[in-house]
Structure 1
Amino acid sequence: MRLLVLGGSEFAGRAVVEAALGRGWDVTVLNRGRHAPAPGARSLTGDRTAPGGLDVLAEGDWDAVVDTWSAAPRAVHEAARLLRGRARRYVYVSSCSVYSWAPPAGYAENAPVVEGADPDAGQTDYARDKRGGELAVADAFGAEASVLVRAGLILGPYENVGRLPWWLTRIARGGQVLAPGPRDLPLQYVDVRDLAEWILGAVERELSGPYNLMSPQGHATMGELLEACVRATGSDAVLRWTAPEIILDAGIQPWTELPVWVPPGTDMHDALHAADVSRAVATGLSCRPVEETVADTWDWLRSIGGTAPQRPDRPRKSLDPEVEAKVLATATAGGSRSGGVPGTTP
C-alpha cells in the first residue's frame, strides 16, 4: 500500500505512520518539518496554511490519504480537492465532538451533528471545524471513498494533549492523590496505536462513512486507569477516592483540571464515555488492556526525560497542588476518605 499522511510526526499521525511502516507499506509524510517523522517514511515539507504549501503534492498517486487536521477546514478542503483522482481513499481523523450537544448515552453514527464551518472561512470552533473537514472530504471524494474517524478520548505514547501524562507525572510524585470517584466509573477511550491499526484496516477493507472510534463502554474504569498508573510508576502514591460532589463543590473542572474524568450521570459523561462503537468493533477495532496503554506511555515519557510535549492549541491540563491538598483535607475530615494502601480501596 502507498500511504500519504498529512501531518504524521505527532501523536495520532505518528502512530499511523509507524503502524503502516510496520506492515511494510510505502509511506509519505507531509508536514512543516518541525518534527522528524518516523524512520523509514519519505518526508515532504509544506505548510498547508501558506500559499503554495501543497505544491510538493502536485504529482504522485496513493492508495490512501490519512489527514489529522483539526483547525479551519480550508486546509482539508484544499488537500482533498488536490488529491481527488490521485488517491483511492481519504481517511479523515475527526472527532465525536461533531455530534450536536448533548448526544444521549448510546449514540451511534446517525446521531445529529453540528453545522460544519464554511471551508472558505477562518477557524471557528473545534466541533464546527471538524465537521467542516468531514464535509470537505465527502465533497471531494464522495461517500464511497471517504472514511470519517470520529475519535473520542485518545491515549497512549506520544500524547501531546496532556491527559495520561499528567496523571502519570502526578502519581509518580507520590503522596496522597486526589482520585475522582466513583472508582468503578466506566471510561471510553482508544489507545492511539489501536486507532492507527483500525485506520489501516479500514483502508485494506475499503470501508467508507463515519465510525465512532473508541473502546466499548466500560473497557476500563477510572479505578483501573489510576491503579495502573501507580503500578507502572512504582510510586508510593495513595489514591484517595473522593465523591464527585466534593470535587465539583471545590470548583475543580472535570476533564481539564482532572483529565479523563467527568462526573457520572451528566451530559458530559454520556457524550465522552458512552458512545455506541459496535460499527467500529464489527469492522476490526481491537482494544488492548489499559495496563498496557499506561505502562507504554510511562516508558515513552521516561525516554524523553519525563516532560510530555504540549500542543499549543490545546489547554494545558493540571490541578493546582494547593487545591488538591485542600480538597483532600476536606474529604478526609468529612469521612469520605478511601484508599489505605497504594492503588487499592479498603
Structure 2
Amino acid sequence: MAKIIGSPSRYVQGKGELKNLCAHAGNFGKKLFILTSPSGRKRVEPAIALGQGDAEIVYEAFNGECCKTEIERVKAACQAAGSEVIVGIGGGKIHDTAKAAAHYLGMPVVIVPTIASTDAPCSALSVIYTDEGVFEEYLFLPASPNMVLVDTDIVSKAPVRLLISGMGDALATYFEARACLQSDASNCVGGKATLAAMALAKLCYETLMTDGINAMLAVKEGVCTKAVENIIEANTYLSGIGFESGGLAGAHAIHNGLTAIEETHSLYHGEKVAFGTLVQLVLENAPEDEIAEVLDFCMEVGLPVTLADLGIKEVKADQIMEVAKLAAGENDTLGNMPFAVTPEDVYAAIMGADALGRYYKGE
C-alpha cells in the first residue's frame, strides 16, 4: 500500500488575517455561505466586512450538532442561497458540518477556526454524531479543505479552556500515529504514514511540552505571544496533519466510548481525548517516565486525568464496561493498536488510568 499524506491546499495563520478572508476565498468563488454560531457571527462579521469587496455573503446559524439532520439542513440552505463556497467559522462541529455539506454538494470549503480546541480544521474527516450528541460514525472525505485560515488575534481571545482542550486533542497525535506505525495500520487518508507525517506528529508533541504552559498562561492574560502562536499551530495544523496522515488508535476510540456517559457531555472533545491518551498508554504499558510526563503536563494545564475529572463522580462497573465495548467496536480505531484489544482490556486500562491519575493528584 502506498504512503499518503493529506493536507489543506493552503494554510494561513497570522494576526488580523480574518479581514483577508474574502480575498483568499475569492480564489474559489465570490458567493460565500458562512456557517457560524450567532455569537460567532458577532465576533467575526466586523472584521470580514473590512475586506468584503465585491464578495456576496450569506450567514447561516449553526444548530449545535454535527449530525445528519444538520448536514442536510445546511445543504438545502446553501443551495437555496445560490452560494459558491462554504465557509465554516467557529469550532470543530461547525467545521465538520461545513466539510460534510460541501462534500455532498461538490463545492469548495474554507475553514476558519475561532478557537484552537481541536485538530478538525485541516482534516478530510467529519465526525458524525446522533441528534442527541452520541458518536455515530466517521465520514472520511476525499480531500482536505481547500483553505484553512487562522486569525490568531481572534483565537487567542477565546476562553483559555478551549486552547487547553486543543492541547488535549493534540496530545494524542504522536502516540496514536506511533501505534499505527507499529501495527502497520492505514491512516485516515487510505495509505501508510509518511516520514513527514510522523515528523509532524512528533513535533506536535514536542511543541506542547515546550510551549503549552507558557501559552496557557499568556491566553489567561489575554495576550498572543510566540508561545501562543506555536500552540495554535500545533493544535490546528501539526495535530491535524499528524492524526490524519499518521492514523488514529486508542485515545480517540476511548473518547468515542466516553460519549455514552451523559456526565461527560459537558466536556470538550480534547478533554476526553487527553484522558483517552492516558488510557492508551496504560494499554501499551508505556514506560513510566513517558506516562509521568503526560500526567504532569495534563495536571499542569488542567486536563482530566481521572474519571472524576470527566464528571463521572460515581464509577459504575457496568457503565465503564459499556464505554469499553463501544471503544473496542469494529467501527472504531482500537483495532489499529499493535496488539489485540478486548473490551476487558479497555475496562482494565480505564480503571488503571483513573488510579494513576488519583495517585499523582494525591487523592
TM-score scaled by length of structure 2? 0.30
Report the structure, 1 or 2, having the larger helix content.
Answer: 2
More strand, by proportion: 1
Calculate the TM-score normalised by the size of structure 1: 0.31
Structure with greater Cα Rg: 1
